[in-house]
Amino acid sequence: DGGITQSPKYLFRKEGQNVTLSCEQNLNHDAMYWYRQDPGQGLRLIYYSQIVNDFQKGDIAEGYSVSREKKESFPLTVTSAQKNPTAFYLCASSIAPPHGYTFGSGTRLTVV
């Protein structure tokens, strides 16, 4: 079955550490996105990529980094520069606008 796989489902990070969230899709979608979700807020865009080897900052890119070396994969690194990383992270992909996005099941990151 085609879809988006995010791993791990839960992730704990010590302060000062970098962590990488995985996102893999087998939908053959060109575009991929990372969103952050906090309680009481909608989804905010961190980074997006519309083609391999190219990506752009979203609204809240500070403290995060990404790579897009393969069409299927778009990992997100939460660096130690991100001051408040505890959140729910969602990865999505799309064929192209104006189609809606397909979402993964998310990763819950907690700083301990």
Instruction: Return residues touching other proteins (CB under 8 A).
Output: 33, 35, 40-45, 48, 58, 88, 90, 92, 97-98, 100-103, 105-106
At its nearest, how many Å lie between other proteins and the CB of residue 56?
Answer: 8
Beta pairing class for 87-94 and 31-37: antiparallel
Which residue lies nearer to other proteins by CB, 41 or 84? 41
Beta carbon of residue 54, minimum distance to other proteins (angstroms, whole number): 14
Closer CB to other proteins, 38 or 81, in the complex:
38
Nearest approach in angstroms of CB 14 to other proteins is 24
Least separation in angstroms between CB 34 and other proteins: 12
Judged by beta carbon, residue 52 or residue 95, the one nearer other proteins is: 95
| Inter-residue contact 102 to 47 (CB < 8 Å) | no
